[in-house]
Chain A
């Protein structure tokens, strides 16, 4: 169904649940390293393996990070709250429960203002609570590494117990046609905030930041909330946008055909851009939450909360206004930069010494194009702001021209090394040495005597043809301005 037809008949309601893996040194409830990967099961202890008698103790730094996230999202901070056991049987949690928070989240009732195409949408935050990550399962025997068809599963508990903060929005209503963009912008701005707080690496491609997308449709103007689906495993900004769009269209087709939406978990497929049915929300969702008896309540003093409030980074709205003024960007340039998810990248590139317009040009041109082509979020491209600033410096120093700079980008993105290494390996430096250029200019003049005569007669515009010939001879690696000077010198 065309997207416009969906909007003509229905109002979307969005909800987002984002899990943020904190970058503490140790796990949430034990002293194991909070580092995923590495040698399997080498970062575990009796507590995170759920062995009998092991006692958890809360990581104070994780509580601090949770409060700072809550404050940055304009939340109230609970004066007193408890952890709770979420009981379920699944081998990714060896305790048979996940330690989480239930009806007493540490942070609640906040909001974040999200900018989309120059308009601001207020996304209300229902809660942000503390919990722990699960182990990582590998499914063996199936053709695709998924559960279906697998013979058995292999579990690595290094990730089990890494601190997570789950941030849950209230239903986002009234976004209409912008719903997919609002969802994407919310996750992108949330990531920016998390990075500014310094509480997580916040890389979606590494699973430090994971989004679940809730969506429902209701008949236009009815004001009711329809039945929702929860799409899991949406792990890039653009996938968030695509998943919302896809589910809106899928729901609309079912509803307009007189069907009803099944409340269920759905899985997002990055490659095909569709969702498929997961499990139905049913008895299996009865988690029998109860207060965690092994952990005492958390009661952050108001003094502590105020101290942490002092450590918050600049308010995002204020920050955007400041950066726009500092950089001299037009409203349109600023909007495009935010829309591309490149605000932080441009800022870091400028901090590395590039001029604002140059930083914007590369990120929104060459690199935005690559991110679209490769289907990768721009922040996940294998190039750093320092690399981009260095490439611009190479242009400024006339080591390469703009055209060769594109090849340097290509080389860095292909993993050939730093910008300087790529220039070296690919032999990309432009030649401004008069000896080599002079020879090429002489050759071009000899090959084009009629053009040379025109220039001698004062038709300077004809020099373009000779410059082209020299550039071709030098395989593009010539300083065009210097070539022009040499031609005019020789033919004056």
Chain B
């Protein structure tokens, strides 16, 4: 049965940029394990005739015509930005990573 370790939870939290304290990790890791175990009970009913399914609807090839449709103006696009400079989204400096 799936069990998620404290280390795995810490790793996922780091990837998701969620800052968890040691106390929170102690508290949350066992809870996540319980949740995973509950969800895993679905394995008990999925027989060999049921393939893993990522998309519930049996649809494929939903395509759009390659035509331009009006979107937002720059003012609208930037209206929700916490900070704007030179008509661009201003973001804090990025450490340790480079595009």
Q: Which residues of A contact B (CB under 8 A)?
A: 24-26, 30-33, 39-46, 48-49, 51, 57-63, 80, 82, 87, 89-92, 94, 134, 137-141, 146-147, 150-157, 267, 278-279, 283-284, 286, 288, 291, 293, 295-300
Contacts and interface: CB of A to CB of B under 8 A. Distances in A.
A144 to B, nearest CB: 12
Nearest to A290: B54
Contacts of A51: 80
Given A26-B66, A44-B71, A278-B98, A154 B85 contact: yes
A60 B64 contact: yes
Contacts of A57: 62-64
A155 B88 contact: yes
B88 A296 contact: no
Contacts of A58: 62-64
A42 B15 CA distance: 32
Nearest to B60: A299
A253 B17 CA distance: 38
B74 interface: yes
Given A25-B68, A90-B99, A59 B63 contact: yes
Contacts of A61: 65-66
Nearest to A292: B54
Given A32-B71, A147-B98, A286-B15, A91 B91 contact: yes
10 contacts: A41-B87, A59-B63, A150-B94, A154-B90, A279-B96, A286-B11, A296-B55, A296-B57, A297-B55, A299-B61
A39 B66 contact: no
Given A152-B93, A153-B94, A39 B74 contact: yes
Q: Give 7 closest A-B pairs by Cβ, nearest first.
A: A45-B71, A60-B63, A31-B69, A61-B66, A154-B88, A291-B54, A299-B60
A6 to B, nearest CB: 28
B13 to A, nearest CB: 12
Interface string B78-92: 101000011111111
Provide the main secondary structure of the chain A interface: loop
A40 B74 contact: yes
Given A151-B93, A296-B62, 19 more contacts: A26-B67, A41-B78, A80-B60, A94-B89, A134-B99, A137-B91, A138-B86, A141-B93, A146-B98, A147-B98, A152-B91, A154-B90, A155-B88, A155-B89, A279-B97, A283-B14, A295-B62, A296-B60, A296-B61
Contacts of B85: 140, 152, 154
Contacts of A146: 98
B65 A60 contact: yes
B59 interface: yes
Q: Kindly name the residue among B17, B73, B74 whose own CB sees the greatest number of chain A CB atoms within 10 A.
A: B74
Nearest to A44: B77
B23 to A, nearest CB: 23
B72 interface: yes
Contacts of B62: 57-58, 295-296
A168 B2 CA distance: 35
Nearest to B88: A154
Given A58-B64, A298-B60, A31 B71 contact: yes
Contacts of A94: 89
B57 to A, nearest CB: 7
Nearest to B86: A154
